[in-house]
Amino acid sequence: MKKIAVFPGSFDPFTRGHEQIVRRSLSLFDQIIVGIGVNSRKESFFPLEKRIHWIEKTFADEPKVAVDVYEGLTIKYCEKVGAQFLVRGLRNTIDFEFESGIANMNKAMMPELETIFILTTPELSALNSTIVRDIIKNGGNAAPFVPAAIDLYAE
Ligand code: ADP
């Protein structure tokens, strides 16, 4: 059976930390769906179209990676696309506390779905999308923190 994983997040924007998690997932799964979770009541900093485009561009040469958008419960989306695995990145103990609660709740709701945690490497563990947005809002250069294929300023 094809091993399908969903890597969910808001990816506002997609960072090198996210990219590393996807690349390290490639040897584990046959397909990785980067699922952009949208909440119609919450406005994002970058428009959805740009977020999709940047992820597609980053993995243009990687047929195993697909990008999709979903609304609502992540487990329902996993069920819909036939994913058996949910991938999350762990940067620190705060992520662990937060993520373990969600993973346990997801396990209670959908026992057949396995959450797989991938530990971030130290050089990327301070990176998050909020910091990248703050750098941009304040006129700094955020290019080193997003995948090489993404030009935050030109596109
Ligand atoms: P959310 O909106 O669910 O917090 P994010 O877009 O911030 O989603 O992140 C999605 C996933 O990527 C989460 O599992 C998060 O822990 C992980 N992640 C975010 N930044 C990094 C990073 N620097 N290194 C590894 N994983 C990361």
Could you tell me the residue ranges of all domains in the chain?
4-145
Instruction: Report the nearest atom of ligand 1 relative to the CA of 8.
Output: 10
Assess whether pLDDT exceeds 60 at residue 126. yes
What is the DSSP code (8-state) at residue 113? P
Assess whether pLDDT exceeds 60 at residue 155. no
Residue 115 in tokens:
């959450």
Residue nearest ligand 1's atom 24 by CA? 17
Mean pLDDT (whole number) for 130-143: 96
- The pTM assigned to this predicted structure is 0.95
Assess whether pLDDT exceeds 60 at residue 82. yes
**Residues belonging to the active site:** 18, 42, 91, 129
Question: Could you tell me if the CB of 16 is within 6 A of ligand 1?
Answer: no
Residue nearest ligand 1's atom 18 by CA? 89
Residue type, 135: I
Q: Please, what CATH class does the domain formed by 4-145 belong to? A: alpha beta
Assess whether pLDDT exceeds 60 at residue 21. yes
8 Å CB contact between 45 and 132: no
pLDDT score of 152: 86
